Amino acid sequence: MGLLFNSAKVVTVREPVHSDVPELNNAQLAAVYYGERVGGDLYDFLRVTPDRVLFGMLDVAGRVEDNQQIVSSAQQTFRSVGAALFKRAEINEADAMIELCLELNRTILQAEGGGVRSCPAFAACYNETLGTLCYFNAGHTPGLLRDEVGVTELKATGLPLGLFSHTTCDAPMAALPPGAALLLVSRGVVEGKFKGEEYGLDRVKECLTQERSATAQEVCTCVLDDVQRYTPPAHNDMTALALLRDAQAKLMEVQ
């Protein structure tokens, strides 16, 4: 039986808090936001053990002036519940990710007195020692994992949060070999339009395939710069998050 948490308490935080990106062993994390914040995009990072980092991206439906309390409550749950679930060295990461997904869903449903509000979400635990990800994708834009073979979509493993009280998500594993990169983009990126045509996930894939930068920050910036050239000023949030594993990571581990 997983851990249970009470998410019904009154939340006094009014705005999401700033999240510092943790330094990783033989890898990098970065997130970049483009344009004026108008929607409910949230990204966060949390070191939960000496060799595990939890990160996630949420996209709460609605305008920022209407959903700020929900976004703040979701971040508070992500941090407090994530830390509690992953604090032990020996855990079942899949069970912990599923429990985190359930608690985030409860928080979003109960925030501001309850109600249905769609919130696509992608969250993952990166194991620095093994170079693996355990993740859930609750109706979010697919994560894109680039390795020497090509680009793989980490597609939805469940429905968006905030819609049903007993929704569940699977939590599969993915490996990041040395030199691999994971890229997450918000819905505002793929839905950016020019003359009625969306920017689309295929263009994001093309950017990721061609971009061979040495930093995770540059991977994010490459995509956001490209969508900025494609579409007029955004009417939705545009966010990118990248995890880049060093090409020499395996050699360093052996040594």
Domain containing residue 237: CATH number? 3.60.40.10
- Mean pLDDT of the residues in the chain: 84
Cβ atoms of 53 and 22 closer than 8 Å: yes
**Which residues sit opposite 44 in a β-bridge?**
56
What domain range is 204 assigned to? Answer: 27-254
Cα separation of 154 and 141, whole Å? 9
Report if residue 20 sits inside a domain.
no
Torsion of CA 190, 192, 193, 199, to 10 degrees: -30
Judged by DSSP in three states, 141 sits in: coil
Q: What number is the average pLDDT over the span 134-147?
A: 96
Contacting residues for 91 by C-beta, under 8 A, at least 6 apart = 85
What is the model's pLDDT at position 44?
Answer: 93
Report if residue 18 sits inside a domain.
no
At residue 146, does pLDDT exceed 60? Answer: yes
pTM of the model: 0.86
Report if residue 197 sits inside a domain.
yes
pLDDT band at 3 (very low <50, low <70, confident <90, very high): very low
**Which residues sit opposite 197 in a β-bridge?**
194
Least confident piece of the model among 4-8, 86-90, 200-204, 214-218: 4-8
**How many separate helices (H) and strands (E) can be counted in the chain?**
6, 12
Report if residue 199 sits inside a domain.
yes
Q: What confidence tens digit (pLDDT) does each residue in 47-66 have? A: 999 999 999 999 887 666 66
Q: What number is the average pLDDT over the span 135-153?
A: 96
Total domains in the fold of the chain: 1
